[in-house]
Amino acid sequence: MTVKEKIEQLRKELHQHNYSYYVLDNATISDYEFDIKLKELEQLEDENPEFFDPNSPTQRVGGDITKNFETVTHKNRMYSLDNSYSKEDLLDWEKRLQKNLGRTDIEYTCELKYDGASINLTYENGQFVRAVTRGDGFQGDDVTTNVRTIKSIPLVPNGDFISDFEMRGEIILPLDGFNAMNEERIANGDEPYRNPRNTASGSLKLQDSAEVAKRPLDCLLYQVVTNERKYATHYESLQAARKVGFKAPDTIVLAKSIQEVIDFINDWDVKRHELPYETDGVVVKVNNLQQQEELGYTSKSPRWAIAYKFKAEQVATVLNEITYQVGRTGAITPVANLEPVYLAGTVVKRASLHNADQIEKLDVRIGDTVFVEKGGEIIPKIIKVDLTKRPLDSMPTVYATHCPECHTELVRTEGDAKHYCPNEYGCAPQITGRIQHFISRKAMDIEGLGGETVDLLRKEGLIQNYADLYELKKEQIVPLERMAEKSAQNMIDGIEKSKEIPFEKVLFALGIRFVGETVAKKLAKQFKSIDNLMNADLETLVAVDEIGERIAQSIIDFSSNEGNKELIRRLQSYGVQLEVSAKSMENQTDKLAGKVFVVSGVFHQMSRDELKKAIEDNAGKVSSSISKKTDFIVAGDNMGPSKLAKAEDLGIPIITEQDFIDMINA
Ligand code: AMP
Ligand code: ZN
């Protein structure tokens, strides 16, 4: 077998295993064996770059960065759907169809309306080439790199189908995956995501495709668009698509009349709460493609399809109390505590009231009977008050004036919807939140310690700030709830290991307001140590590229606080990296000073990140888009054609990976 044949065979095999696992939900190989094969393929591809293929299973892990998503015009417009809310609406629709088509024997398909982000997948010559969001229906964003990481999407459909077509579908986050993501966020002290739909569509616009690859996204397909007339009906085309690898849910059914459609709706109105993903309705389509063509489109939507929206479930219950929650930044959220009530499959006890304005708008009061609705959001909301049931002695709600945790008077700055507790260093949830941020993955990355344990340690009086972590003793931890010898040791080891975390991450971990990851990197590079940074005055700070007054002032506030000075002194004494280490200074030169680079394509000798780091280590600057200011483009394989055209247009020199390596070794 030639190398090429071996590569092709492995790709085919791995595609097939992916399909079994992600589409059929039926693994045909162990994870371990899959990994071995994938590694083997990776190595062969590395050694034989001439066989690079963007649709290889190795490309599913992502790694490419998209800074600006290109706008692409859809070949076929992506229409909206007409909505209907009642059985009568559906019967009216049927009458219009019968009149338009001049017949009564119309066949329909019933599908669930998947609640996610619409996507258009283009295939040419049987190969996946592009994924574009719906956008305004005429134009969308090219999110190909990110979508390629979604493993249930076949990159090379396998079997008898058409070769040039578009596949329309919905990118979703199944509920399990969504909940798991949120658990991790909560453990890291991050705000949980609000709902699966927004999180799915947000995921498509992440710049780092490796990050997208980690998310448990899925894609459900609902329409084949093609000029080839191989299939006579919508139903057949989806069945055929399913056979060659597309995840077209088999919940679809054929219906001979609107009455059968209504049966399907009634059935799913109940069963939908058991689905692994969210649905907000049913889509009914005329099955025959010839008839679809005859019916055509209005200015907004196809005449041959209609969406039926399930009613958002509402119940009435009594508001017992309004309590106030303090977030890690001190932001206050009012929470309605309700008489427990059954709604859409769960018991609801609490609902968010958002902020003071919302309470005023609803004029909601203790003792009121309120209507609660569960829409797209995971946390239910209060829609309105049933005034007919308002107790006679009811009094308007007075918003909290003091922090429920530390009793400090709340503040509200102009233009801000939320109230804040200003007691940053003495308010329990803010203290816990800051420590949770300190230990999180992108900061000190302390293994063996989670968000809940931080809270427990604080409640037990063992820690008051992040410096206290370094004085924890195993004997103090073992007796705590859910702790044992081994977990305590892991925690201590994790804390000890964090002393190796480089200065730029430590700086981010300190939680100085407005000092995010990127700013922390900049500051670390510029000032080299915490002492230099804390001694810098406003002028020096704002002189740093991209550091504005707001960030500078926040650093000064942090640095002038006596408590913070003490914390930093302690962290230094434990051996936490509070200056740039000699090791990270190695390999650093000024060779590329003043030069701006754009990096594009796939590289072989180093990863894209290593390449970027090498540019920065040698005092060069990395930019994401090509402009007149760009000095060089380092191009790997498969550089985007639009970038290439732009570079040629502006006359910017394009150099290879090897040219670049020669440049810094010169
Ligand atoms: P709307 O955004 O309310 O106009 O609804 C139209 C959108 O519903 C389409 O753009 C699709 O993304 C989405 N959709 C979800 N499930 C289906 C389905 N089974 N058939 C057609 N469209 C669907
Ligand atoms: Zn407080």
**Shortest-distance atom of ligand 1 to CA 285:** 20
Cα of 197 from ligand 1 centre, angstroms: 13
* Cβ of residue 114 lying under 6 Å from some atom of ligand 1: yes
Verify that 557 and 604 share a domain, yes or no: no
By three-state DSSP, how is residue 462 classified? coil
Please name the residue whose Cα sits nearest to atom 23 of ligand 1.
113
Which ligand lies nearest to the CA atom of residue 280 in the structure? 1
Query: Phi and psi dihedrals of 649, rounded to 5?
Result: -55, -45
Q: Which of 76, 110, 112, 118 to mutate to test the pocket of ligand 1 (most atoms within 8 A of CB)?
A: 118
Helices (H), 297-379: 356-362
Structure tokens at 392: 């006679």
d(CA 333, CA 323): 8
409 in a structural domain: no
Asked whether 420 and 412 are in contact (CB, 8 A), the reply is: yes
Asked whether 308 and 281 are in contact (CB, 8 A), the reply is: yes
Verify that 43 and 106 share a domain, yes or no: no
Verify that 104 and 164 share a domain, yes or no: yes
Verify that 560 and 625 share a domain, yes or no: no
Structure tokens at 177: 């995956």
**Shortest-distance atom of ligand 1 to CA 78:** 10
Cα of 576 from ligand 2 centre, angstroms: 29
Residue 313's pLDDT is what? Answer: 77
By three-state DSSP, how is residue 629 classified? coil
CA angle 264, 268, 272 (to 5 degrees): 160
Verify that 120 and 142 share a domain, yes or no: yes
Q: What is the CATH number of the domain that holds 486?
A: 1.10.150.20
Beta strand ranges found along 142-259 (DSSP E):
165-172, 218-225, 253-255
Asked whether 505 and 444 are in contact (CB, 8 A), the reply is: yes
The alpha carbon of residue 40 and the mean position of all alpha carbons in its chain are separated, in whole angstroms, by 30
* Cβ of residue 80 lying under 6 Å from some atom of ligand 1: yes
Among residues 65, 60, 255, 36, the alpha carbon closest in space to that of 636 is found at: 65
Cα of 585 from ligand 1 centre, angstroms: 54
Among residues 74, 67, 208, the alpha carbon closest in space to that of 627 is found at: 67
Q: What is the pLDDT of residues 468-489, one digit of tens each?
A: 999 999 999 999 988 889 999 9
Q: Beta strand 369-373 with 346-352: parallel, antiparallel or unpaired?
A: unpaired
Cα of 422 from ligand 2 centre, angstroms: 7
**Shortest-distance atom of ligand 1 to CA 112:** 19
Alpha-carbon torsion, ordered 22, 25, 29, 35, to 10 deg: 30
Verify that 523 and 634 share a domain, yes or no: no
Per-residue b or e along 215-243, where b marks 16 or more CB atoms closer than 10 Å to that residue's CB: bebbbbbbbbebeeeebebbbebbebbbe
305 in a structural domain: yes
287: Cβ contacts below 8 Å, ≥ 6 apart: 107, 108, 109, 233, 234, 235, 254
Mean of pLDDT over the chain: 91
Which ligand lies nearest to the CA atom of residue 423 in the structure? 2
* Cβ of residue 134 lying under 6 Å from some atom of ligand 1: yes
| Full domain range(s) for residue 449 | 428-500
Verify that 578 and 626 share a domain, yes or no: no
Clarify whether 474 is annotated catalytic: no
Beta bridge partners of residue 220, listed in sequence order = 170
456 in a structural domain: yes
Verify that 203 and 106 share a domain, yes or no: yes
78 in a structural domain: no
162 in a structural domain: yes
364 in a structural domain: no
Structure tokens at 39: 């590694």
Sign of the alpha-carbon torsion through 44, 45, 47, 51: positive
Please name the residue whose Cα sits nearest to atom 16 of ligand 1.
113
Asked whether 402 and 409 are in contact (CB, 8 A), the reply is: yes
Please name the residue whose Cα sits nearest to atom 12 of ligand 1.
118
How many residues in total does the chain contain? 666
53 in a structural domain: yes
Fill in the amino acid letter for 311: K
* Cβ of residue 111 lying under 6 Å from some atom of ligand 1: yes
Q: What is the pLDDT of residues 530-552, one digit of tens each?
A: 999 999 999 999 998 888 888 99
Q: Which of 283, 285, 298, 304 to mutate to test the pocket of ligand 1 (most atoms within 8 A of CB)?
A: 283
* Cβ of residue 133 lying under 6 Å from some atom of ligand 1: no
Verify that 486 and 574 share a domain, yes or no: no
The alpha carbon of residue 372 and the mean position of all alpha carbons in its chain are separated, in whole angstroms, by 28
> Which of the residues in the chain have pLDDT under 50?
none
Structure tokens at 372: 């609660």
Q: What is the CATH number of the domain that holds 10?
A: 1.10.287.610
* Cβ of residue 118 lying under 6 Å from some atom of ligand 1: yes
Q: Which of 4, 6, 67, 113 is catalytic?
A: 113
Verify that 479 and 522 share a domain, yes or no: no
Q: Which of 79, 133, 170 to mutate to test the pocket of ligand 1 (most atoms within 8 A of CB)?
A: 170
DSSP secondary structure, 79-107, as one string: ----EE-SHHHHHHHHHHHHHHHT-S---
* Cβ of residue 15 lying under 6 Å from some atom of ligand 1: no
Cα of 407 from ligand 2 centre, angstroms: 6
DSSP 8-state assignment for residue 21: I
Among residues 354, 333, 350, 332, the alpha carbon closest in space to that of 341 is found at: 350
> 500 exposed, middle or buried (CB, 10 Å; 0-12, 13-18, 19+)?
exposed
**Shortest-distance atom of ligand 1 to CA 81:** 4
DSSP 8-state assignment for residue 409: B
Asked whether 168 and 87 are in contact (CB, 8 A), the reply is: no
Residue 377's pLDDT is what? Answer: 54
Coarse DSSP helix, strand, coil percentages of the chain, rounded to the nearest 5 percent: 40, 20, 40
Fill in the amino acid letter for 127: Q
Side-chain half-sphere of 320: how many Cα atoms within 13 Å? 8
Q: What is the CATH number of the domain that holds 612?
A: 3.40.50.10190
Q: Which of 76, 79, 80, 81 to mutate to test the pocket of ligand 1 (most atoms within 8 A of CB)?
A: 81
380 in a structural domain: no
* Cβ of residue 170 lying under 6 Å from some atom of ligand 1: yes
pTM of the predicted protein model: 0.59
Residue 624's pLDDT is what? Answer: 77
Verify that 290 and 435 share a domain, yes or no: no
* Cβ of residue 113 lying under 6 Å from some atom of ligand 1: yes
Which ligand lies nearest to the CA atom of residue 82 in the structure? 1
Please say which residue of 585, 604, 622 terminates a domain.
585
Please say which residue of 585, 610, 635 terminates a domain.
585
Residue 34's pLDDT is what? Answer: 92
Cα of 519 from ligand 1 centre, angstroms: 40
d(CA 550, CA 538): 10
Per-residue b or e along 616-625, where b marks 16 or more CB atoms closer than 10 Å to that residue's CB: bbbebbebee
Verify that 657 and 623 share a domain, yes or no: yes
Q: Beta strand 632-635 with 654-655: parallel, antiparallel or unpaired?
A: parallel
Q: Which of 84, 120, 222 to mutate to test the pocket of ligand 1 (most atoms within 8 A of CB)?
A: 222
Asked whether 234 and 223 are in contact (CB, 8 A), the reply is: yes
d(CA 634, CA 603): 10
Query: Phi and psi dihedrals of 329, rounded to 5?
Result: -95, 0
Angle (deg, nearest 10), helices 196-204 and 175-187: 80
Side-chain half-sphere of 340: how many Cα atoms within 13 Å? 3
Per-residue b or e along 652-666, where b marks 16 or more CB atoms closer than 10 Å to that residue's CB: bebbebeebbebeee
Cα of 520 from ligand 2 centre, angstroms: 27
Cα of 412 from ligand 2 centre, angstroms: 13
Other Cβ atoms closer than 10 A to 31 = 9
Beta strand ranges found along 327-444 (DSSP E):
332-343, 346-352, 369-373, 381-385
d(CA 84, CA 96): 14
492: Cβ contacts below 8 Å, ≥ 6 apart: 448, 472, 473, 474, 477
Please name the residue whose Cα sits nearest to atom 2 of ligand 1.
80
Please say which residue of 276, 309, 342 terminates a domain.
309
Total domains, the chain: 5
Cα of 423 from ligand 2 centre, angstroms: 5
* Cβ of residue 643 lying under 6 Å from some atom of ligand 1: no
> What is the H or E stretch that residue 144 is in?
helix 144-147
